Chain A
Amino acid sequence: MIEVKEIKPPRRIPFFGMISGMFTVFRHAFQKPVTVQYPEKREDQGDRFRYRIYLSTEDCVGCTLCEQVCPNLSITMMMLDKDNPRNKRKIYPSVNFGTCTVCRNCEEICPTDAIYLKGVFETSRTRNSFFYNPLELEKNEEEVRR
């Protein structure tokens, strides 16, 4: 059973519609602007907003699941000489943010929650410095200087 509703253009009075449209436009001039002046003010992003990948090398077990699940091959495993009894192979993920699409699959699949995302989004870099090694992934954005 398909309910079909045939619609016709609403009735209008010639010329008057244009004038009323102009009034509508003019009235908006007294509204408060909805844009946010970015560097001074910031919008609240909500608590589910995620962008930057963080890594806790303490928890990482080097299972390479994140590397497998990453759809863009942004995550590659990297040798890192760090004393961690749970990570026998001493491999940790490193992320190329230039290709990261923030799909959050790595966060979801990580068995030890070593990879997690946070709502930090001011991560602008030059083109060649998007690559974050595991130690840099641990740090905050301000500490990773290029």
Chain B
Amino acid sequence: MGPQHPSTHGVLRLKLLLDGETVKNVEPVIGYLHRNAEKICELDYYCDSLIYFDRMDYVAAMNMEIGYLEAAEKLLAIEPPERVKWIRVVMAELNRLASHLVWAGAFGLDLGMLTPFFYFFEEREKILNLFTEICGSRQETNYMSIGGVYQDFNDKIIFKIKQFLKQFPKKMEEAYSLFIKNDIFISRTKGIGILEPEVALSYGVTGPMLRASGVPYDVRKDAPYLVYDKLNFDVPISRGKDVLARCIVRFEEMRQSVKILNQALDKIPDGPYFNPKAKKSLMIRLRGEGDVYARTESPKGEFGVHLVGDGTVKPYRLHVRSPAFKNLSILPYLSRDVLIADMVAISGSIDLVFGEVDR
């Protein structure tokens, strides 16, 4: 299954060893989208690295930016104002919705459902239009900056997000019912790709994949960053361990995201939208020294950034722990002795984004 195969997400290449229809061995070949992002970030100013993080997980750019900023702000000792934290939570959850919607659409296509894809993408399009309204561009937004955000929220934007949230659950449940009420869908997903929690933990799998195996691990709860400790939401888990469980966990996460958004939009406090210590004209003079690691919950799982500064305006070392890469490592284990059709379903359920795997 080469990098140009229509079902592979992005540029995944899978070497399959087949016995008839049964998959005997899978060997993922990655690196077709390798852009050397970590090294480039080491050659750039702290503020410039953000655009490369946008392009890592290009369907969840906000979460990536937050992951980097958590590390960078710790290193540079710049605390963002309270209002910025709330705004970041709103943007992260909106982007989590968008990311899960993309996953759902692509997963439906993997299984051969043509139509739900468009229903999910219609909703995602609304989110991206909101992003255009807020950030000035759709996907690679570069909205955040060190110690602040690019432009402030105003009442019109909050009203528009609320308007979107009002109609979103109904539309989502409608498309979800196309999935979950369909017997063929159930028969394609139930009992396929069973991932035991011990195996998942030993492979370093995180995010919805791990929660679908029954481990309630969510960085937003276990090590709260931003203002997630002030918000009331649940960590959905499922004991199904299979592809179906991953599907319903992701959909439940979308409901929780809506819940978070509704709370966060009401609670956004007034205040400045950037830290004056990091205002834009000073942004290439920021110096940091030390060694920090920050982890956040991206839609794919735990996203960690390791940042080492040596006192200059550029980082000495930057390492990214990308969840999709860790989750991909489980694919050969999961798709041993399954049919090709199941292998496609399993690789779809992992939610791979290749900007992030290859970096």
Contact = CB atoms under 8 A, between A and B. Distances in A.
Chain A interface size range: 35 or more
A1 to B, nearest CB: 8
Given A25-B178, A101-B51, 14 more contacts: A9-B186, A18-B183, A20-B177, A21-B177, A21-B178, A24-B178, A46-B129, A46-B132, A48-B133, A49-B132, A69-B284, A104-B136, A104-B150, A105-B48
Q: Chain B binding site: helix, strand, loop or mixed by DSSP? A: helix
Nearest to A15: B183
B249 interface: yes
B283 A48 contact: no
Contacts of B186: 9, 12
A14 interface: yes
Interface of B: 44-45, 47-52, 115, 119, 122, 125, 129, 132-137, 140, 142, 145, 150-151, 174, 177-178, 180-184, 186, 216, 218, 221-222, 233-240, 244, 248-249, 252, 280-281, 283-284
Given A5-B237, A7-B236, A109-B283, A17 B136 contact: no
B44 A71 contact: yes
A111 interface: yes
A5 B150 contact: no
A17 B44 CA distance: 54
Contacts of A48: 132-136, 151
A105 B45 CA distance: 11
Q: Chain A binding site: helix, strand, loop or mixed by DSSP? A: loop
A109 B281 contact: yes
27 contacts: A2-B216, A2-B218, A2-B221, A2-B222, A3-B221, A4-B237, A6-B237, A6-B239, A7-B238, A9-B240, A12-B181, A14-B183, A18-B181, A18-B183, A21-B178, A24-B178, A25-B178, A34-B125, A46-B129, A68-B45, A69-B45, A71-B52, A103-B51, A103-B142, A104-B136, A105-B280, A108-B281
Across the A-B interface, the 7 shortest Cβ-Cβ residue pairs:
A17-B181, A71-B48, A5-B234, A108-B280, A48-B136, A46-B133, A4-B216
B132 A5 contact: no
Contacts of B235: 2-5
A113 B129 CA distance: 27
A3 B136 contact: no
A69 B233 CA distance: 40
